[in-house]
Structures are given as structure tokens and as C-alpha cells.
Amino acid sequence: MSLDKKDVEAIARLARIEIKPEQIDETASQLSSILEFVEQMNTIDTSAIEPVAHPLDLTARLREDAVTEPNQRELFQSIAPAVENGLYLVPKVIE
């Protein structure tokens, strides 16, 4: 499977990555070669194999339901670019 210019632009938009026009061809060919490799793996029949959810053969340890985190708003907001009335401010995102 090979990707064209449009695919690369769409993927870049989804990932919020800026790709300059002169980089598109190279990116397309690099991504295509990754997909080719995946396709190669896809030729192996894995229908009878349970997918690996995690490389470690362990299951999760769970925590008790208790509030352990105090309010540290001031500390966290001291590194935020913009805050007001306790809110983090970000560029307007209304649809």
C-alpha cells in the first residue's frame, strides 16, 4: 500500500504535525515503506493467536478507591502559560 500526497496531508492534520510541502514526497515514501513492512507481516495467519495486549505477561494491580491527591492548583498553574479564575486558558476552540 502506498500513500499519496493527500494521505500524508490528512495524517499530518490528524497528528497536528506540520509538514512542509518539500517534505511531503519523502514522508510519503517513508510511510509507505512502513506500511509495506506491515503488509508483509499481514501475510502470516494469526487468526488462532490471541493478540498481545502488553509485552509483560502480567495483569494490572488495582488501587483502592481513596482520595490521595491534595489540591495543588497553584503549583500546577505556576507553569501554565495563561490562567484566569482558576481556569487554564487556551486558544479559542469553539466549533
Partner 1 sequence: MEWETVIGLEIHAQLATKSKIFSGAATAYGAEPNTQACAVDLGLPGTLPVLNKEAVRMAVKFGLAIHAQIDEFSVFARKNYFYPDLPKGYQISQYEKPIVGPGYIDIEVEEAGPIRIGITRAHLEEDAGKSLHEDFHGMSGIDLNRAGTPLLEIVSEPDMRSASQAVAYMKKIHSLVRYLGICDGNMQEGSFRCDANVSVRLKGEEKLGTRTELKNLNSFRFIERAINYEVERQIDLLESGGEVIQETRLYDADKDETRPMRSKEEANDYRYFPDPDLLPVQVSRELVDEVRETLPELPDARKKRFMEEFNLSAYDAGLLTADRELADYFEIAVNTANGESKLTANWINVELNASLNRENKTLSESPVSAEQLGELILRIKDNTISGKIAKQVFASLWEGKGSSADEIIEKEGLKQMSDSGELEKLVNEVLQANPAQVEQYRAGKTKVLGFFVGQIMKQTGGKANPGQVNQLLKSKLDQ
Q: Which is nearer to partner 1, 21 or 91 (CB)?
A: 91
- Per-residue contact flags (x/-) with partner 1 for residues 29 to 68, judged by CB under 8 A: ----------------------x-xx-x-xxxxxxxxxxx
Closest CA to 11 of 34, 29, 28: 28
Is 22 or 86 the residue whose CB approaches partner 1 more closely?
Answer: 86
Binding status of residue 18 toward partner 1 by CB under 8 A = no
Q: Quick one: which of 31, 28, 27 has its CA closest to 39? A: 31
Amino acid at 63: R
Other CB atoms within a 10 A radius of the CB of residue 39 amount to 10
Distance CA 28, CA 35 (A): 10
* Site residues, partner 1 (CB under 8 A): 14, 16, 51, 53-54, 56, 58-69, 71-73, 76-77, 82, 84-95
